[in-house]
Amino acid sequence: MEIVAFRMQLKPGVADEYRRRHDALWPELAQALRAAGIYDYSIFLDEQTLHLFAVMKLRRGHSVTDLPGHPVMRRWWDYMADIMLTEPDNSPRQWPLEPMFHFD
């Protein structure tokens, strides 16, 4: 198992829309995430900074690095681009987070 955490940036005034879109996550996207080895994925919002903090647990032998080439992932990024900071290809801007503490 591997744990990956990163930060993303929400645009002002769209937190409710971000939540609404994720509450209606496309079944084909959920399937692609599971197939890539993601089995636990949470995103948290810091309302003061609009930073999104994502934490993913990955199965051994995962293929998460293949997701950017998956058509449903590309469509999701295009769908979310109007409410997040993105890279030129519409993937969300991500800043990796360094693990500082873990308690089991």
Catalytic residues: 22
Strands (E), the chain: 2-9, 38-46, 51-58, 95-96
Alpha-carbon span 69 to 61, nearest angstrom: 18
Alpha-carbon span 12 to 39, nearest angstrom: 30
100 — phi, psi (to 5°)?
-115, -25
